[in-house]
């Protein structure tokens, strides 16, 4: 949409604002027929406006689409709008059956963007990569454990905070690293390694930290994660090296497929947890906000304490604070607990993306001093 005419952007933005105004007028008036439709229309128009815009608004497009996905999921489940029967599923089959296939598609698409060089980069920057991985699998699980015991949530919902904390970072962290002008090469390497290590580390962390809250079968979870993560990523990596050079256009398409997959995943994971989200409300929102912001702050602080350069500190902070919440929701689905164990990942995702976007844009406008850029592989 880079070539979208300016008038289209203005039309979409104006329509989105108009829908928002009508929603704000209809909501206190108790118009159940109009308000939800205006809310959905506003979310979609504003997301499209961001996608066709330029500058900072365009950089926020992915985040705005995620927020729109949350709105769609909440409204769809509540049946506030008349949707065709096939939307929610066919017969007894619900849309939650799409969660695992969607995750596998996203992981495959991620694999197609990787190369052997992304893994070999560990040899060029071993200190930063090892510190980043250590922070990834210690800070967030422990913060999740602390929050789970602090907020008095139901055990399975509280365990979801640990689950999202024990998950690896996702593709969105690479996007935020680019926006923040951090070390994109290191970000990609950290995401790839954390993802491949997660089938071994995440189940062990869950057993150790959340075993009293929810039943965890370490072996079964490792197998589930291997199917969701390892097989698709390795298949994508093989596809990248053997076939993608024959279809160069796929290099541009695959990241978009990942983003669309994440958006659809947001909708189909929010909908089943609608009632629980309403029940726990601001408590879980607050817990998730503290979780991701603590990840950013502690990730940066630890790297600063270890005297890493500012670019590396920012890169690792983004990797630590941004988790693959879709993967966490998928694991909850495998356990048959997407509406409880999967609730924290569902709430965490949009909060994480909004917070990370704000942080990345602030860092973009406050770049590190030129003489502080010690990372040889910095990729603006």
Asked if residue 41 lies in contact with residue 81, where contact means CB atoms within 8 angstroms, the answer is: no
Return residue ranges of the chain for CATH 1.20.1530.20. Answer: 98-370
pLDDT at residue 216 tops 80 = yes
Q: Which residues contact 12 (CB under 8 A, 6 or more apart)?
A: 45, 46, 48, 49, 52
Predicted pLDDT at 341:
87
Read off the tokens for 365: 């406008």
Strands (E), the chain: 89-90, 93-94
Percent pLDDT > 90 in the chain is 28
Predicted pLDDT at 32:
64
Condensed to tens digits (0 to 9), the pLDDT of residues 218-230 reads 999 999 999 988 8
Q: What angle do CA 307, 312, 314 make, to 5 degrees?
A: 105
What are phi and psi for residue 374, nearest 5 degrees? -90, -10
Predicted pLDDT at 1:
43
**Average pLDDT of the chain, as a whole number:** 81
Condensed to tens digits (0 to 9), the pLDDT of residues 283-339 reads 888 999 999 999 999 999 999 999 999 999 999 999 999 999 888 988 988 888 877
Q: Which residues contact 377 (CB under 8 A, 6 or more apart)?
A: 121, 124, 125, 183, 185, 186
**Residue 94: is it exposed, middle or buried by C-beta count within 10 angstroms (0-12/13-18/19+)?**
middle
3-state secondary structure of 89: strand
Asked if residue 299 lies in contact with residue 165, where contact means CB atoms within 8 angstroms, the answer is: no
Condensed to tens digits (0 to 9), the pLDDT of residues 34-89 reads 777 788 888 888 888 888 877 667 777 777 777 787 777 667 554 444 444 444 44
DSSP assignment of 47-73 equals: HHHHHH--HHHHHTHHHHHHHHHHHHH
Instruction: Give, for 355, the enclosing helix (H) or strand (E).
Output: helix 343-365
End-to-end CA distance of the chain: 22
Strands 93-94, 89-90: pairing kind: antiparallel
Q: At what angle do helices 249-270 and 325-334 cross, to 10 degrees?
A: 60
For the segment 261-267, the average pLDDT, to the nearest whole number, is: 71
Predicted pLDDT at 84:
47
Report the range of poorest mean pLDDT among 130-134, 178-182, 245-249.
245-249
Instruction: Look up residue 90 and give its DSSP letter.
Output: E
Read off the tokens for 179: 């926006």
Give me the architecture of the 98-370 domain, per CATH: Up-down Bundle (1.20)
DSSP assignment of 126-192 equals: HHHHHHHHHHHTTHHHHHHHHHHTTS---HHHHHHHHHHHTS---HHHHHHHHHTT-BHHHHHHHHH
Please state, in angstroms and rounded to a whole number, the distance separating the CA atoms of residues 217 and 351. 29
Please state, in angstroms and rounded to a whole number, the distance separating the CA atoms of residues 319 and 297. 11
Which value, in Å, is the radius of gyration of the alpha carbons in the chain?
Answer: 20
Task: Select from 324, 327, 297, 309 the least CA-distant residue to 368.
Answer: 309
């Amino acid at each position: 949409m880079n070539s979208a005419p300016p008038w289209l952007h203005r039309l979409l933005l104006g329509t989105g604002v108009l829908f928002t105004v009508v929603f704000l007028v209809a909501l206190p008036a108790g118009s159940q027929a109009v308000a939800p439709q205006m809310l959905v229309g506003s979310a979609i128009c504003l997301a499209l406006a961001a996608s066709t815009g330029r500058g900072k608004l365009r950089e926020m497009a992915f985040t705005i689409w995620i927020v729109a996905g949350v709105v769609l999921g909440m409204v769809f489940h509540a049946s506030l709008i008349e949707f065709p029967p096939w939307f929610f599923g066919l017969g007894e089959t619900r849309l939650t059956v799409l969660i695992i296939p969607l995750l596998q598609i996203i992981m495959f698409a991620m694999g197609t963007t990787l190369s052997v060089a992304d893994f070999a980069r560990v040899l060029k920057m071993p200190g930063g990569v090892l510190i980043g991985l250590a922070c990834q699998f210690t800070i967030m699980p422990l913060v999740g454990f602390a929050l789970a015991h602090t907020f008095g949530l139901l055990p399975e919902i509280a365990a979801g905070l640990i689950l999202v904390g024990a998950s690896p970072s996702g593709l969105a962290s690479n996007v935020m690293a680019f926006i923040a002008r951090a070390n994109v090469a290191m970000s990609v390497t950290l995401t790839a390694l954390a993802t491949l290590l997660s089938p071994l580390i995440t189940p062990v962390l869950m057993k150790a930290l959340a075993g009293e809250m929810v039943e965890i079968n370490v072996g079964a979870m490792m197998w589930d994660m291997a199917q969701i993560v390892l097989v698709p990523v390795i298949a994508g990596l093989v596809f990248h090296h053997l076939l993608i050079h024959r279809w160069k256009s796929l290099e541009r398409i695959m990241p978009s497929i990942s983003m669309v997959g994440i958006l659809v995943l947001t909708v189909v994971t929010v909908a089943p947890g609608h009632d629980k989200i309403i029940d726990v409300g601001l408590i879980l929102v607050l817990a998730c906000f503290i979780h991701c912001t603590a990840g950013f702050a502690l990730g940066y602080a630890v790297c600063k304490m270890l005297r890493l350069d500012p670019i590396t500190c920012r890169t690792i902070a983004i990797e630590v604070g941004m988790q693959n919440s879709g993967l966490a929701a998928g694991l909850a689905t495998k356990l048959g607990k997407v509406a409880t164990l999967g609730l924290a990942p569902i709430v965490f995702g949009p909060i994480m993306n909004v917070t990370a976007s704000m942080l990345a844009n602030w860092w973009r406008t406050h770049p590190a001093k030129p003489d502080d850029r010690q990372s040889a592989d910095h990729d603006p």
